[in-house]
Structure 1
Amino acid sequence: METGKRLRVILALAAIMAVVQVLNTLTANSLVHHGILPRTLSGLQGLIFAPFLHGSFAHLLSNLPPFIILSWLVSTEGLGRYVRVALLVSILGGGMVWLFARNSLHIGASGLIFGLWTYLLARAWYQRSIASLLVALVALAGYSGLVFGFIPTPGISVESHIAGAVAGCIVAWLMHSKSLLETAH
Structure 2
Amino acid sequence: MTDIDTRQWGTADRAKAAAWLMAGWVALLWVLEAIDHATGHALDTYGITPRDPDELADIVPASFLHFGFDHVASNSVPLLVLGFLAALGGIRRFVGVVALVIVADGLGVWLISPSHTNTAGASGLVFGLFGYLLVRGFVDRRLLDVGVGLLVGAVWGSSILLGISPTNTTVSWQGHLVGLLAGVGAAFLFRRRRGTAITAA
TM-score of the aligned structures, taking structure 1 as reference length: 0.91
Counterpart in the other structure of 2:9:
none
Q: Does 1:150 align with 2:161?
A: no
Q: Distance in 2 between matches of 1:127 and 1:108?
A: 30
**One-letter identity of the residue aligned with 2:150:** L
TM-score of the aligned structures, taking structure 2 as reference length: 0.84
CA root-mean-square deviation: 1.5
Q: CA deviation at 1:163?
A: 0.8
Q: CA deviation at 1:65?
A: 0.1
* Deviation beyond 4 Å, 4+ runs, structure 1: none
Counterpart in the other structure of 2:134:
121
Q: Does 1:32 align with 2:44?
A: yes
Tell me the number of residue pairs that the alignment of Structure 1 and Structure 2 aligns.
179
Q: CA deviation at 1:135?
A: 1.1
| More divergent stretch after superposition (59-68 vs 3-12) | 3-12
Q: Please point out which of 80, 91, 106 is paired with 1:94.
A: 106
Q: Does 1:160 align with 2:175?
A: yes
Give the gaps of 5 or more residues in structure 2: 1-12, 195-201
Q: CA deviation at 1:19?
A: 0.5
Instruction: Judging by fraction of residues, say which structure has more helix.
Output: 1
SS at match of 1:136: helix
Whether the aligned pair in 2 keeps the contact of 1:94 and 1:160 (CA below 8 Å) is yes
Give the gaps of 5 or more residues in structure 1: 180-185
CA-to-aligned-CA distance 1:29-50 (integer Å, 9 cap, x gap): 1101111111112311222111
Whether the aligned pair in 2 keeps the contact of 1:117 and 1:139 (CA below 8 Å) is yes
Q: Percent identity?
A: 31
Q: Does 1:170 align with 2:182?
A: no
Q: Distance in 2 between matches of 1:105 and 1:161?
A: 15
Alignment of 1:47-66 (within 5 A): 47-66=59-78
Q: Does 1:135 align with 2:160?
A: no
Q: Distance in 1 between matches of 2:173 and 2:192?
A: 28
Q: Aligned pair in 2 of structure 1 residues 61, 75: CA closer, same or farther (>3 Å)? A: same
